[in-house]
Amino acid sequence: MLTIGQAIRDAIIDHARADHPDEACGVVAGPIGSDRPARFVPMANAERSPTFYRFDSGEQLRVWREMDDRDEEPVIIYHSHTATEAYPSRTDISYASEPNAHYVLVSTRDADGLGEFQFRSFRVLDGVVSEEEIAVLPEGADADGGADAASGAGPVA
């Protein structure tokens, strides 16, 4: 199960909406081994495409080094789908290389306001996709019952 604060969930959706009609992407870092998404890190889609995303290699190196320096890991790796449901594509599955990460997908295909955005989370291990439940904590709370770590997050797109 993915447990995520409302502020981080909203930041992911806001990033997906802002980048539409292109796919948005990024990570949410958290303390190593905690499975607690704490720091929202929006990233640029190097492909600038409505059908594919790729982290810019330089930006990805910088972000992963920053996580190492802060004793963090990618708890969530997210991206959006602009014309299809929020479900990992074959390409998404082939690129899923973080065995402990939650892979969050947001569908912005209803960005015209006619429907609800899909926000779904998956685990991807050895090419096998498993959808998981999502618990959204109210703003101001985190998994430990303390203050929401999203308030100290990086810039929101």
For 27-77, what is each residue's pLDDT tens digit? 999 999 999 999 999 999 999 999 999 999 999 999 999 999 999 999 999
Domain assignment of residue 53, yes or no: yes
Check residue 1 and give its pLDDT.
Answer: 97
The domain in which residue 76 lies consists of 2-136
Domain assignment of residue 142, yes or no: no
For the chain, where are the alpha helices, taking DSSP H only? 6-19, 57-69, 90-95
Check residue 153 and give its pLDDT.
Answer: 38
pTM reported for the whole predicted model:
0.86
- Let me know: does 29 contact 75? Beta carbons within 8 Å: yes
Cα(49)–Cα(68) distance, integer angstroms:
29
CB neighbour list of residue 130: distance below 8 Å, 6 or more residues apart: 122, 123, 124
Check residue 154 and give its pLDDT.
Answer: 38
Domain assignment of residue 67, yes or no: yes
